[in-house]
Amino acid sequence: MPQAMAGNFWREDRTDAYYPRPYNQNGSSTTLNMQVQSKYLLNMAYMRIKNITFGYSIPPKLLKKVDIKRLRVYAALENFFTLDHLGTLPIDAEEISGYSMWNTSNYNAGRTGTGVPTFKSASVGLQINF
């Protein structure tokens, strides 16, 4: 057993240990120690505001003097706000698994969110109807 595991595997008096309880596997790779488990999974739950637009229409009464029927000012944000448990990890939950513009090796194969980060954009505008 590696020294790093020796004092940090599960026992009844160490239920918060990092590694599962070791036992003799007799050379088998199908025992429970070798199976996928949920302890080391990453919580990828997130909430993203995809699009949000703030706008204001000037009242028509104020526009009559300048011969404008309608005037609206707006600002729009796209992909600006994401709430997640990932901290500073450069992972995007909407990235297609295993696809990346840098996928020149097997590094990204089967990995979710390892490609180009989600693009954020902001725009402002003015809509005028004469």
CA pair distance 42, 50, nearest whole angstrom: 23
| Domain match, 70 and 93 both | yes
Residue with tokens 């706008």: 55
Number of folded domains that form the chain: 2
Q: Confirm whether pTM is higher than 0.85.
A: no
- For residue range 56-108, what is the model confidence (pLDDT) as tens digits? 999 999 998 898 999 999 999 998 888 888 777 767 767 655 544 555 555 55
Torsion angle in degrees (nearest 10) through CA of 59, 64, 68, 73: -20
| Domain match, 90 and 117 both | yes
| Domain match, 112 and 62 both | yes
CA pair distance 23, 11, nearest whole angstrom: 12
| Domain match, 8 and 52 both | no
CA pair distance 94, 85, nearest whole angstrom: 15
| Domain match, 67 and 120 both | yes
| Domain match, 53 and 112 both | yes
Q: Give residue 69's domain range.
A: 42-129
Please name the residues in contact with 31: beta carbons below 8 A apart, sequence gap of 6 or more. 23, 25
